[in-house]
Structure 1
Amino acid sequence: MKNDYLERILTAQVYDVAAETPLELASNLSARIHNQLFLKREDMQQVFSFKLRGAYNKMVKLSPTMLKRGVVTASAGNHAQGVALAAQRLHCRATIVMPVTTPQIKMQAVEARGAIVITHGDSYDEAYAHALKFAAEKHATFVHPYDDPDVIAGQGTVGMEILRQRTGPIHSIFVPIGGGGLISGIAAYVKRLHPEIKIIGVEPVDADSMYRSLRAGRRIKLAQVGLFADGVAVKQVGVETFRLCRELVDEIILVDTDAICAAIKDVFEDTRTVLEPSGALSIAGAKLYAKRENIRDKNLIAIASGANMNFDRLRHISERAELGEQREAVMAVTIPEQPGSFRKFCAMLGTKSITEFNYRYADPKEAHVFVAVSVRNRDEAAKLIRSLERSGLRTEDLTDNEMAKLHIRHLVGGRARDVKNERLYRFEFPDRPGALMKFLNSMGHRWNISLFHYRNHGADYGRVLVGMEVPPEEKAEFKEFLKRMENHYWDESSNPAYKLFLA
């Protein structure tokens, strides 16, 4: 081996700033995947990421003269926090170049530690080029996020801790890959002592530079990368990290956004911690691997690498998590346009929880309903669709339809030309299994439903928007119906939003 990483890792100076993080069993997730999955909790570092290990190990070895000139780096956030913390500890000036797409929480964390932040470019690579130029102009030391033996050795202490903490047999260690520093360090240490342990890298499908490079036998530079998992959004892996991964890594697994979101939810349910997307990559990979290989009762380890989550991402993650876990089926169902059809359709769904129900009158003969239902797995979803088809209801499975999941579900509506005397009401009811069906039963089928929108938001109360055709001569009867309703309601017929977009 070109560099003796075993000695480098054993002598790495990281514990002035880093903690030896716990290796915890994710009990709920382990039971579901039929293997013991342990999480290496690097999200519990004081900068909520493993990156301070490599940054400090590099900087603590700089001479007093180099420290006086300062350091410069480029980072999407976590390495930046590690460099900022190390500079603070070593009384050194630090300048961090960050892509303009970096989450605000990471920029604020870096500035809070006294570092100077410069935003430049839309990706890490553009920030990297600018940082190199800036470092040369200022005669400062550039601290590479991953392609440096001292940085790699610092990250390798994660692998050292894993073998110390888990003395029993380990089947596989799953590691997220951005530039490759973490997996290179872990693999260099673990493979030297236990070559039988599989080292498996995990990348997003839209940021798979190491996967493509290993397949091609040379470093591949991606034209663009997905930014959802911004911590691993690297267009080209390092020279040294590519060399080490080519020699030591057993496999690279690719996962999509839905799988990452599901993994974030899985870790939350086990630890009550919200990982950032790149921090949950390895968990998503471990789940996919266990299912693909059909392994059971093995000890798997996944690196929970970071928890610098932007709060405004939580809504998207929550919505996609059920899809990533294949526990929500999204469908377009065509039902007869006649009173009572909604109730009959919901009855066919049985006890399954309806998570979304969108409808707007469009045709006097057929109603097209956008519906999402909680299921246990894809097999159950397929069985439900077959059951609806056998009952004469045309059903289109939209679970894997990106446009439907991202946009159409929010756009079902519009103006209905043939609707007359429409009244619009908003209702609230306690949201529990069967509550929507109970609500529909309470409405009866006296008046034609011309609009219906329901979405389970995970709150205590379900909220439904309903449009009904109520002829003028039936207004008194309709008011009596509302008085008998057990649910809170609001008349939205004069709401300007309704008049502008739906009426």
Structure 2
Amino acid sequence: MSTDYLKRILTSRVYDVAVPTPLEKAKSLSERTGNEFLLKLEDLQPIFSFKIRGAYNKMANLSATVRDRGVIAASAGNHAQGVALSAHKLGCRAVIVMPTTTPPVKIEAVRRFGAETVLYGESFSDAYEKALELEKSENLTFVHPFDDPDVIAGQGTIALEILHRHPDPIDAVFVAIGGGGLIAGVAAYIKQIRPEIKVIGVQTEDSDAMIRSVEAGRRVRMQDVGLFSDGTAVKQVGVETFRLTRELVDDFVRVNTDELCAAIRDVFQDTRNILEPAGALAIAGAKRYLAEKRWKGKTVVAIASGANMNFDRLRFVAERAEVGEDKEALFGVTLKEERGSFRRLCALIDHRNVTEFNYRMSDNEDAHVFIGVQISTPDEPAKIVATLEKNGFPTVDLTQNEMAKTHLRHMVGGRSDYASNELLYRFEFPERPGALMRFLSTMHPDWNISLFHYRNLGADFGRILVGIQVPPGQKTRFRAFLNELGYPHWNETDNPAYDLFLGGLRTRPTA
């Protein structure tokens, strides 16, 4: 490797706009993994991403004549903001081509800096091709998001700060990879100054162009890439970034969406910062690598590379983080449609914290229940399946079933022509063990549960929707049951939404 990169990094002009960011210990992650787990908080940059370093260094090194003509860039968002802010600082025109899948928060941020935006294609590669067209037609200078020595050198200043702030031994630095600019710059500096430190690249399982390229010994172009981690959704890595990564990076690790969501939550718990998916990629990779290699007592650094999170994604992240942390298991359970079976099933799992319970009566023989259960170890799902099946409840483990996690859990239900005399009630249960069994124990044995929906949303109380088949003439007894139970409740039997989507036979009692 040419030592030119060391000089480029040491002389990079990044601090006109970038700030030296903290290197902080993640206390919870350190305790849980048994290692010194340090976070390089690049999400604290003015654009909430490391990308300002490389963009500004590139543009600051352009001649005044070239800058006056204006610049153009293609980016999924963070590089776009870096170019836009740099252009604002340097007083030049900036045109940014962004994929149509770019989160609105990033598009709006670019426009606030005064840059012109063009939305085109579904990935960085699509936007890149469009930007090359505009570069020629409008006589602009292209600022590449990763495959440029000045951009790579600008990103390499992160490694300079890490080693300056932590002169003590470091075993590994984990770096997210999209097109490869960040890891190329980090590796170029570390391997010149402290070659004993491992540099480990992290990619998502569905956007792993760099890992595939290194494995193949040539740059591989992917046909499609996953877009959850939009900041690293690159179909083909750069020529120079591939060369440096192949030469200098020690190892790689792939992570899935659930692990990424868990890492976002981990960082929030340790720092109260909310990273975007690409920003949490290195943390997710470090967690997996430490577990797979059974490292203990090591010192590792993970670069938290960005925090331009689309707020609407937080709901998805929160839902999937439990599975990604091996804290929630999902099951499909079959039980006989007979009195007492629902209660027996609940008794078997009542000592565990139930995170979700979806059931709708469908026929007079078998019922199928979708259950989420909080777990503490990865081997628990198999034990739960064995326990349920031993007690006569055929069970399927759905924890790693993508369709079940993404769609099925929201679709369990529908109409039922078997749910005669059904009352629909909405309850608020205290969010503590035993609340469900108290409900079932208080309920009259002649009444049958025909619908049940519950999802733990982290509040002090749980919201439950219950369908109960109450025979005619028992409304007084039913009201007594509600009073004895004492949980806040609302009668939804006449709710028009119930009639549209859940209602069956109209022979219902009034209560």
- Band the TM-score falls in, shorter-chain normalisation: over 0.9
Question: Residue 181 of structure 1 corresponds to which residue in structure 2?
Answer: 181
Deviation, structure 1 residue 138:
1.6
Question: Aligned equivalents of 1:284 and 1:235: distance in 2?
Answer: 21
- Measured at CA, do residues 168 and 2 of structure 1 come closer, stay the same or move farther in structure 2, by a change above 3 Å? closer
Tell whether the 8 Å contact from 2:350 to 2:433 is kept in structure 1 after alignment: no
Question: Aligned equivalents of 2:126 and 2:56: distance in 1?
Answer: 24
Deviation, structure 1 residue 238:
0.3
Question: Residue 244 of structure 1 corresponds to which residue in structure 2?
Answer: 244
Are residues 1:372 and 2:369 paired? Answer: no
Amino acid at match of 1:465: L
User: Counterparts in 2 of 1:69-218, with a 5 A limit?
Assistant: 69-218=69-218
Question: Aligned equivalents of 1:22 and 1:222: distance in 2?
Answer: 35
Say which SS state the counterpart of residue 473 (structure 1) adopts: coil
Amino acid at match of 1:433: P
Report Cα offsets for 1:359-385 as digits up to 9, x if no partner. 111232332211000000221222222
Question: Aligned equivalents of 1:260 and 1:359: distance in 2?
Answer: 30
314-323 vs 439-448, which deviates more? 439-448
Are residues 1:219 and 2:219 paired? Answer: yes
Report Cα offsets for 1:48-97 as digits up to 9, x if no partner. 00000000101111111111111110000000111111111111111111
Deviation, structure 1 residue 484:
2.8
Tell whether the 8 Å contact from 1:353 to 1:434 is kept in structure 2 after alignment: no
Question: Residue 266 of structure 1 corresponds to which residue in structure 2?
Answer: 266
Question: Aligned equivalents of 1:478 and 1:267: distance in 2?
Answer: 48
Tell whether the 8 Å contact from 2:442 to 2:481 is kept in structure 1 after alignment: no
Question: Residue 334 of structure 1 corresponds to which residue in structure 2?
Answer: 334
Question: Residue 491 of structure 1 corresponds to which residue in structure 2?
Answer: 491
Question: Aligned equivalents of 2:174 and 2:451: distance in 1?
Answer: 48
Are residues 1:343 and 2:343 paired? Answer: yes
Question: Residue 508 of structure 2 corresponds to which residue in structure 1?
Answer: none
Deviation, structure 1 residue 3:
6.0
Question: Residue 507 of structure 2 corresponds to which residue in structure 1?
Answer: none
Question: Aligned equivalents of 1:453 and 1:445: distance in 2?
Answer: 20
Say which SS state the counterpart of residue 20 (structure 1) adopts: coil
Report Cα offsets for 1:330-375 as digits up to 9, x if no partner. 0011223223322322221142110000111123233221100000
Say which SS state the counterpart of residue 472 (structure 1) adopts: coil
Are residues 1:435 and 2:435 paired? Answer: yes
Structure 1 unmatched runs, 5+: none
Report Cα offsets for 1:160-199 as digits up to 9, x if no partner. 1111111111111100000000000000000111111111
Question: Residue 355 of structure 1 corresponds to which residue in structure 2?
Answer: 355
Tell whether the 8 Å contact from 1:416 to 1:502 is kept in structure 2 after alignment: yes
Question: Residue 454 of structure 1 corresponds to which residue in structure 2?
Answer: 454
Deviation, structure 1 residue 2:
4.2
Tell whether the 8 Å contact from 2:447 to 2:471 is kept in structure 1 after alignment: no
Amino acid at match of 1:442: T
Amino acid at match of 2:269: E
Deviation, structure 1 residue 119:
0.7
Report Cα offsets for 1:237-286 as digits up to 9, x if no partner. 00000000010011121111011001111111111111000000001110
Question: Aligned equivalents of 1:502 and 1:188: distance in 2?
Answer: 61
Amino acid at match of 1:37: F
TM-score of the pair, normalised by structure 1: 0.98
Report Cα offsets for 1:9-63 as digits up to 9, x if no partner. 0011101111110111111011111111100000011100000000010111111
Tell whether the 8 Å contact from 1:354 to 1:436 is kept in structure 2 after alignment: no
Question: Aligned equivalents of 2:443 and 2:35: distance in 1?
Answer: 48
Say which SS state the counterpart of residue 450 (structure 1) adopts: strand
Question: Aligned equivalents of 1:68 and 1:135: distance in 2?
Answer: 14
Amino acid at match of 1:152: I
Question: Residue 384 of structure 1 corresponds to which residue in structure 2?
Answer: 384
Percentage of identical aligned residues = 59
Question: Aligned equivalents of 1:479 and 1:375: distance in 2?
Answer: 36
Tell whether the 8 Å contact from 2:66 to 2:141 is kept in structure 1 after alignment: yes
Question: Aligned equivalents of 1:273 and 1:440: distance in 2?
Answer: 41
Tell whether the 8 Å contact from 1:105 to 1:309 is kept in structure 2 after alignment: yes
Deviation, structure 1 residue 404:
1.0
Amino acid at match of 1:129: E
Tell whether the 8 Å contact from 1:340 to 1:444 is kept in structure 2 after alignment: no
Say which SS state the counterpart of residue 481 (structure 2) adopts: helix
Question: Aligned equivalents of 2:379 and 2:233: distance in 1?
Answer: 34
TM-score of the pair, normalised by structure 2: 0.96
- Measured at CA, do residues 213 and 141 of structure 1 come closer, stay the same or move farther in structure 2, by a change above 3 Å? same
Question: Residue 509 of structure 2 corresponds to which residue in structure 1?
Answer: none
Deviation, structure 1 residue 233:
0.4
Question: Aligned equivalents of 1:156 and 1:315: distance in 2?
Answer: 34
Tell whether the 8 Å contact from 1:328 to 1:374 is kept in structure 2 after alignment: yes
Structure 2 unmatched runs, 5+: 504-511
Amino acid at match of 2:291: K
Question: Aligned equivalents of 1:193 and 1:374: distance in 2?
Answer: 45
User: Counterparts in 2 of 1:275-354, with a 5 A limit?
Assistant: 275-354=275-354
- Paired residues, what number? 503
Say which SS state the counterpart of residue 288 (structure 1) adopts: helix
Question: Aligned equivalents of 2:121 and 2:318: distance in 1?
Answer: 29
Deviation, structure 1 residue 317:
0.6
Amino acid at match of 1:197: I
Report Cα offsets for 1:413-433 as digits up to 9, x if no partner. 122222211111111122233
Say which SS state the counterpart of residue 287 (structure 1) adopts: helix
Question: Aligned equivalents of 2:401 and 2:461: distance in 1?
Answer: 29
Question: Aligned equivalents of 2:437 and 2:12: distance in 1?
Answer: 62
Deviation, structure 1 residue 483:
3.0
Question: Aligned equivalents of 1:394 and 1:424: distance in 2?
Answer: 28
Deviation, structure 1 residue 492:
1.0
85-94 vs 145-154, which deviates more? 85-94
Question: Aligned equivalents of 1:4 and 1:437: distance in 2?
Answer: 69
Which consecutive aligned stretches of 4+ in structure 1 deviate over 6 angstroms post-superposition? none
435-444 vs 234-243, which deviates more? 435-444
Question: Residue 30 of structure 1 corresponds to which residue in structure 2?
Answer: 30
Question: Aligned equivalents of 1:441 and 1:29: distance in 2?
Answer: 41
Deviation, structure 1 residue 392:
2.1
Question: Aligned equivalents of 1:314 and 1:479: distance in 2?
Answer: 40
